[in-house]
Structure 1
Amino acid sequence: MKGHDLLNDVLPDEALIHILSYLDVPSDRGSCSLVCKRWWQLESETRHSIRIGASGNPDACVTAVVRRFTGLRDVSFDERFGFSLIQNGDATSRRGRKRRRGTDELSPLLTESLWSSLSDSGLMLLGQGCPRLEKLTLVWCSAISSTGFKSLAENCCGLKNLELQGCYVGDDGLKAIGQFCKLEDLNLRFCDGVTDLGLMAIATGCAKSLKALIISVCPRVTDATLAAVGKNCSLLERLTLDSEGFKSDGVQAVARGCPRLKYLRMLCVNVEDEALDSVGRYCRSLETLALHSFQKFDKGFLAIGHGCKQLTSLTLSDCYFLTDTTLAAIASGCTELSSLEINGCHNISTSGVRAVGRSCRKLTEVVLKYCQKIGDDGLSEIGRGCKLLQALILVDCSAIGDSSIRSIAGGCPGLKRLHIRRCYKIGDKAIVAVGQHCERLTDLSMRFCDRVGDDGLAAIGAGCPELKHLNVSGCHRVGDAGISAIAKGCPELIHLDVSVCQSVGDEGLAALAGGCRSLREIILSHCRSITDAGLGFLVASCTKLEACHMVYCPYVTAAGVATVVTGCLSIKKVLVEKWKVTPRTRRRAASILTELCMDL
């Protein structure tokens, strides 16, 4: 009935709040808040998270935010980026700009061009205005000191998650946090002012609550902190260490005192074999282990294989002295392993991977990067033994060829993701096998694989109807025939990269326009056969296109750029040489081209 408000008269607050909870896009929630005063009030009270970038007056911004949103529990300040929009809490919509109380307060702050940093005063205001705060993230907020953290800790005793990156907070601030808050998750990155004293206070004050700890590039933190964590924090489950200041004694203390540890990631060049030995002995619940740049170990891996029976994810990066024997020891003991990544471990060869294939039958993901000694026999064993494999990523593995990929395709019909980069022995025979056996494939990348051509793509088009992502960048043998086969058989394709494919031209784009109406991103850079006509075919049918890269396409002119910009209502990103953008095109699409248009 005209003039009668059916929604507000019938629906109670609880029902409207439940409906608003289904809106994940910030702009949608902001638009709903402008419908009426009641919706504005409900949205203000039920908004729990907000992200804020750099602004001209961040302290005034905090005042407006806490006044507008009274129930905030998750607040993030990231001063690496400009404050063009309050994400997850914008008070204005893109289409309707109706003014409301609260919107008027925030709008001048959104357009401020000058930049300054959040201060202690702003942090104090945040603590006073958000007493129910549970999670706080501060990134490169260099003006904050311990004074602000003391006030925050006193007002926000329910704080559980604290992330500081590039902040100069000192020990007194961390001591206050440890005294008043029961932290569960602490993340410190590039915090030069933090020393062992502050973190020892956290370990003591949050002994019964701390479950996750990240210490990365904090040069004044040493093994004394880890000793305090091992002594007090028996509930710790996740630990990440990235510093030269940590040695084996500290890691041993944590291993002995934190038996519930499930996740351990270390980039510590001074940690040696005895640390891993302690982890294997005491951390029987370990599920994820990631080691980077470890140089001295041998027996430690034997202990990991013997003691960590629940290990499901293993990452070994730049561990130059890791051998096939130690990898086999882990494989034989950790049979629950589902994810394996070996990156730059130059002594790992075919026999080590063969042992993994024989023992770890539950593998679902294998990543091999810069492993020159791993040959076909090792990967073929993965294909024979690991029937549950869903993802295989190969980078610069020069000894791997068609036979191993054919074994993977035949033995792992559930494969969904296959990435191959600069593996020059892999060609059409391997990709044809993938197309014949892996009908669930959704993501295929074959960057700079010179032996892959149209025959391989024809098989993929015929056998992989669920394909959504395809990258054949640098595959010179791929042409219009292969792209046409993909267009015919893969209607769900949303991302395509054919950059540096000289044989792909307008015929391929016309086929895509006919078969891949859901395409959202296409990369055509360095395609010398693409013309304005091909772009016209594409934009006429692919109405969901959001991004188009066409740098160094000599036959694409300013008219073609204008066609893309004006023909795609959903377009958000266009990458092209600056001289191909006319003043008229720039006026019509400044937000799309301003930052991405370059002189090349």
Structure 2
Amino acid sequence: MGQSASTQSAKPLFSSSSSRRAKPPHSTSSSSGASANRQPAAMAEGDAASPIAGASPARDNTSDLPDECLAIVFQFLGAGDRKRCSLVCRRWLAVEGQSRHRLALDARAALLEAAPTIFARFDAVSKLALKCDRRADSIGDEAIALIAVRCPNLTRLKLRACRAVTDAGMASVAKHCPGLRKLSVGSCRFGFSGIEAVVRGCALLEQLSIKRLRGLPDTFATGGAVVGAASLRSMCLKELYNGQCFAPLIAGSPNIKTLRLIRCTGDWDRLLEDIADKVPGIIEVHLEKLQVSDRGLAVLSSCNNLEILHLVKTPECTDAGLATVAERCHRLRKVHIDGWKTNRIGDEGLIVVARQCPNLQELVLIGVNPTARSLGLIASNCRNLERLALCSSDTFGDPEITCIASKCMSLKKLCIKGCPVSDQGMEALAEGCPKLVKVKVKKCRGVTPGCADWLMTRRVGMLAVNLDVIGPTEQQEASRESRILENNEQLIDQIGAVDLLPSSSNSRLPPWKTRMGFSTGENLVVSALRRWSRGGSNSNST
């Protein structure tokens, strides 16, 4: 019956379609008839295309795929698509859960009740992030212990604002997750004992990041020998009060390659002596807003394998300390210096870097005032220099950029922000730096959009120029916002800590503050006016 009905309806549908194409498009009767018969036509065509008339609907060919292949397909999907695929059928739900290795959960107290069900489905999780809102009650030791038992294969764990977790909870993690390789904790309230338990119990631990840990005592005294981790490769301490209690742990881990100390209280010169003496193989050092002086840099110079050095807002470090490091660490590849407008690091230290570090590939100078005297030596001696950034420098002008253009043969990326360069200096890039592929110019009043267009034309499309000029309206807005921010130093620290470029001491507003949402509406108007002005200048030139 169904088959004959389909067959009978197919003939008039095809004829109706033919007659519809023959009639004028304003024919109302034919168009209404066509719309009424459109759905049966599709069904008829499907029946005609099927190899056997009246056959049952096509079977699901994905059922022939092994679970392993289906899991591989799921790995190419995003989080949202994976969730939707898990709703297709029970098999897909099971395969998706068993093949998910990365999981991020809201770590509120209610997670304790849901944890057994969640980890019964996701039983292969190896990377887990537990984040709680700072205004809510977080999970405690019972929940973290339950999760540790359910995730014995855990290799990465991130805890954020889990304030109810104590040292006992971290001991449970160490006991049930011996394969843990990476631990990152932030805004938690357990103390040194919890971290030490993980270091002792997880013999494969490679990366340890500790930020804003609130459970550290005011004074620290080791009750016994502090055991480090031979497997530890990277250590990061950020915004810790009395973070010096971790210095013995660092010194007890002889294979550390990366050390980051950011905004930790206390004098670190003496502690760096012990660290550098026992961990001589350090390759990367990041010191930011830290009480460290040339004495500490002299100690770090004993790490002959040092390749990456970041000195960010360390006002006690001078040219002498930088020179000491450069004279002994000839393998330096990346040097980032934020002088914080103190003028304590300048040409003298950079000249030693130029003479002693021929392998330099990346140089970032913020709030430093170099001249052509040091930059010329860097350009001549550091033949592998590929990335150069100069920000908020009062001395980097047209002579300096001309020097860079004529001598940096390997330079690929150049960033200039808030420097007194002009169109005349930028024109030197048209012929120099043959390997240059990208130039960023921000907040340089002397550089105009016309120069950027001309530069790209001269380089025959092989150079990308990102120009962000500052107009009169933006200058007024920048001055107003700068005055607002000066009254809130805490906000500056919170925002400036996550950006490479520091807050400028003058009235010009760095673009990252604009991106954070200050005066969004006015910035949109300024952008529109800038586009109109560019359009007007182009039309006038033609």
TM-score, length of structure 1 as denominator length: 0.63
Post-superposition Cα deviations, 1:286-305, rounded to whole Å, max 9, x if no partner, equal 11100112234333322221
Residue by residue over 1:503-533, the C-alpha shift from the partner in whole angstroms, topping out at 9 and shown as x without a partner, is xxxxxxxxxxxxxxxxxxx988444264599
Pair 1:214-2:209 in alignment: yes
1:167-246 to structure 2, matched below 5 A, reads: 167-168=162-163, 169-182=165-178, 183-191=180-188, 193-206=189-202, 208-221=203-216, 230-246=226-242
1:140-191 per-residue CA deviation (whole Å, 9 max, x = no partner) reads 2543111111111122111121111111122221111111112211111111
> Aligned pair in 2 of structure 1 residues 15, 119: CA closer, same or farther (>3 Å)?
closer
Q: How does 1:109-508 map to 2 (within 5 A)?
A: 118-141=110-133, 142-168=137-163, 169-182=165-178, 183-191=180-188, 193-206=189-202, 208-221=203-216, 230-246=226-242, 248=244, 250-251=246-247, 253-267=248-262, 268-306=264-302, 308-345=303-340, 346=342, 347-371=344-368, 373-424=369-420, 426-453=421-448, 454-463=450-459, 465-468=461-464, 470-474=466-470
Classify 1:188/1:531 alpha carbon distance in 2 versus 1 (closer, same or farther; 3 Å): same
User: Using the alignment, how far apart are the partners of 2:321 and 2:152 within structure 1?
Assistant: 47
Q: 1:382 to 1:429 in 2, by over 3 A?
A: farther
Residue 71 of structure 1: aligned partner? 99
Does the CA-based 8 Å contact 1:435-1:463 persist in structure 2? yes
> Is residue 8 of structure 1 aligned with residue 61 of structure 2?
yes
After TM superposition, give the deviation of residue 409 of structure 1 in Å: 2.4
Maintained 8 Å contact 1:402/1:430: yes
Does the 8 Å CA contact 1:229/1:254 hold for their aligned counterparts? no
Task: Check conservation: 2:237, 2:243, Cα contact below 8 A.
Answer: no
Identify if the C-alpha distance between structure 1 residues 533 and 359 changes in structure 2 by more than 3 Å, giving closer, same or farther. closer
Q: CA deviation at 1:260?
A: 0.4
Higher helix share: 2
1:19 deviates by: 7.0
Cα gap change, 1:78 to 1:394, in 2 (>3 Å): farther
Measure, in 2, the Cα distance between the counterparts of 1:322 and 1:350.
14
Shift of 1:326: 0.8
- State the alpha-carbon separation in 1 of the partners of residues 304 and 532 from structure 2: 58
Residue 16 (structure 2) pairs with residue 20 (structure 1) = no
Give the letter for the 1:438 counterpart.
Answer: C
Q: Secondary structure at the match of 2:227?
A: helix
> What is the percentage of aligned positions where both structures have the same residue?
22
Contact 2:102 2:126 (8 Å CA) reproduced? yes
Q: Judge conservation of contact 1:312–1:338 (CA < 8 Å) in 2.
A: yes
1:231 Cα deviation (Å)?
A: 1.2
SS at match of 2:321: helix
| Displacement after TM superposition at 1:215 (Å) | 1.2
The CA distance in 2 between the partners of 1:74 and 1:28, in whole Å, is: 15
Asked whether the equivalents of residues 456 and 464 of structure 2 are also in contact (C-alpha less than 8 Å), the reply is no
Letter in structure 1 aligned against 2:117: L
For 1:352 and 1:12, how far apart are their aligned partners in 2?
A: 64
Distance 1:232 1:365, change over 3 A: closer
The 1:244/1:6 distance shift into structure 2, 3 A limit, reads: closer
- Equivalent residue number for residue 529 of structure 2: 528
- Larger mean CA deviation between 122-131 and 335-344 belongs to 122-131
Secondary structure of the structure 1 residue equivalent to 2:256: coil
* Distance (whole Å) between structure 1 residues aligned to residue 225 and residue 123 of structure 2: 28
Q: For 2:409 and 2:238, how far apart are their aligned partners in 1?
A: 39
Letter in 2 for 1:313: I
CA contact (8 A) 2:285 2:308 kept: yes
User: How far apart are 1:385 and its partner, in Å?
Assistant: 1.7
Distance 1:244 1:22 in 2: 38
- Please list the CA deviations of residues 46-100 of structure 1 after superposition, one character each: whole Å capped at 9, or x if unmatched: x5xxxxxxxxxxxxxxxxxxxxx23322101368xxxxxxxxxxxxxxxxxxxxx
Q: Deviations over 1:16-68 (max 9, x none)?
A: 5487267354566677778x76xx845862x5xxxxxxxxxxxxxxxxxxxxx
DSSP 3-state at the match of 1:459? helix
Where 1:362 maps in the other structure, the secondary structure is: coil
TM-score using structure 2 length: 0.69
| Counterpart residue number, 1:84 | none
For structure 2, the 5+ residue unaligned runs are 1-47, 52-57, 473-522
The answer (yes or no) to whether the contact 2:445–2:469 under 8 Å persists in 1 is no
Q: Deviations 1:526-557 (Å, cap 9, x if unpaired)?
A: 4426459979x9xxxxxxxxxxxxxxxxxxxx
Structure 1: how far apart are the matches of 2:401 and 2:327?
24
Distance 1:127 1:316 in 2: 43
Shift of 1:11: 7.7
> Highest CA radius of gyration, 1 or 2?
2
What are the Cα deviations for residues 207-238 of structure 1, in whole angstroms up to 9, with x where unaligned?
x1221111111122258699989514222111
1:380 Cα deviation from its structure 2 partner: 2.3
Contact conserved, 1:230 with 1:254, CA < 8 A, in 2? yes
User: For the aligned residues, what is the CA RMSD?
Assistant: 3.6
**Aligned pairs, number:** 424
CA distance, structure 1, for counterparts of residue 295 and residue 65 of structure 2: 65
Q: 1:411 Cα shift?
A: 2.6
Asked if 1 retains the 8 angstrom alpha-carbon contact of 2:98 and 2:123, the reply is no
Whether the 8 Å CA contact 1:13–1:42 is kept in 2: the answer is no
